[in-house]
Structure 1
Amino acid sequence: MKIAATIIASAAIAGIAGASAQAQETTFDNQDAAANAVENLEEQIREDRDRDLDRFGNSGRRLGSYGSLSARATATSNDGDDESDLGVGLRFGNYDGVNGFDVTLSYNYGKSDGEVTQNNLLGGLDYRRDLNANLFAFGKLDVASDRLADEDGDYELDTFLGTGIGYRIFNDAERQWSVQAGPGYRVAKVVGGEDVREVAASVSSNYFQSLNDFSYLTNDTDVISSETGTLVNNELALSVSMTQSLALRTSLTTQFNDATDADFGDARNTLGASVVYNFR
């Protein structure tokens, strides 16, 4: 069984967040460079830690709504060359004690000397309903649209709609392990090729292990399967909270796509490390 390379929304949302945190340029290139670098690092660490705490189902979620809206726009003119970029990101979610949902949207638009250089929209919708203490149902929709796709094989539109059941194998203060799986359907529009309309499936695993009062280990695995291709994403991370002020995190992210990788030896591996100290 092959796996569909459709779930790219979350990675693109993270890219938007990183782009929105770029340092402001000044007359003196290094002015405030240290402060801007620290702010960027702290924001990335907060995002990493937030992701670790978002476990499958609604376990551990607070009642009520949350949300954020971010935007970034730049315009540059230099020696007759004009460039402009716009990025918008939206996150919104709610949990009423039984039902929970999360929405993420990302839009990028850019022009250079009057020519559009990027115009893409990414979105995701996740819904979960608790059936009992360990069992939950879920539904998910992921959409990726690239208005500038023009090479054969590129995807102008790629969507995945899935549903299924999840189960919390372990669910206590020391260890949490949840798995979810179910059928889905994929619709994609391919440049120079036939449109894709096929049955697909998603399988995911989320593991959390507390090592002591100050550190924990997480491993997240996501797989989408269909006739078209294979995408596997795995992130292993160790987070250490020395105090309320000091946090450290090391992660290894592995991405495999059988459309470009002959075997798992060709998978893309990214090692990340971060540290921040907040003075109170």
Structure 2
Amino acid sequence: MQGWAQWNVFYAESVNGHDATPFFFQSVISDHVIHRGTLSTGGLGGGADRSLADLFQVAFDPRHFANVAFSDDHKVNTGVGPDNGPDNPTSRRLIRANFTHQLMATAGSVVTTGSCAGSPPPPPLGAEKITGVGQIPSQKPGLSANFGFVAKNDPTNASLSYHDDGATGGSIDVHSSNVTVPTITFSGNCATLKGSAKLNQKPGYNYNVNTCDGDPAAGKDTFFISVSGPNFSYSNGGFITSGNIQIHQQ
């Protein structure tokens, strides 16, 4: 029943929350609709059934990996009923806890505690950080593409969000996924970011960003991005038309 509300689990993260204008990266982290219809079947009274909304627990680390436990009642309880189909909120549900998980270890990760601990890599010289949020011209004239990112190299850490409604071939939404450890290289007032990404919520893609902190008053900040993956290639960039890119010394 397409008329019913369909609920998913979203995860929003900010790695510059102390800044005057923090930037949040949002992703859909459930791989299926977890609930259909209203969240409260009893209205606003004290006897309302809000069991689905009661369980959301999050554990995350500095590399943007997160385990999220959440209630999930998308399956029908066929043994008790009523069973009016999986897409009908009037069907009795199996309420269960679910969680996101990663099946394979991240390449290049080093365990630093416990009996399997290895030696962490030494911090890079001249550790730096770069942040940016703003717009560049879209691939389609007259439109703008939005971007936001935070990256630093001690420890290596990067988050990227990019959206272009005017992309050739259709709108694209890119989010860093950090399936692999990102690489960040600084050169003067410029930085290059490379890592894994989701394209329109689908994994298996890679991004490459080159960006420079120029003179913000003169509109000299630049942002260039390329995204590649299965049968897909996209590139765009230039001087930003709004926002700011800033290099920070750690």
Normalized against structure 1, the TM-score is what?
0.27
Higher strand share: 1
Structure possessing the higher relative contact order (Cα contacts under 8 Å, 6 or more residues apart) = 1
The structure whose Rg is larger is 2
Higher helix share: 1
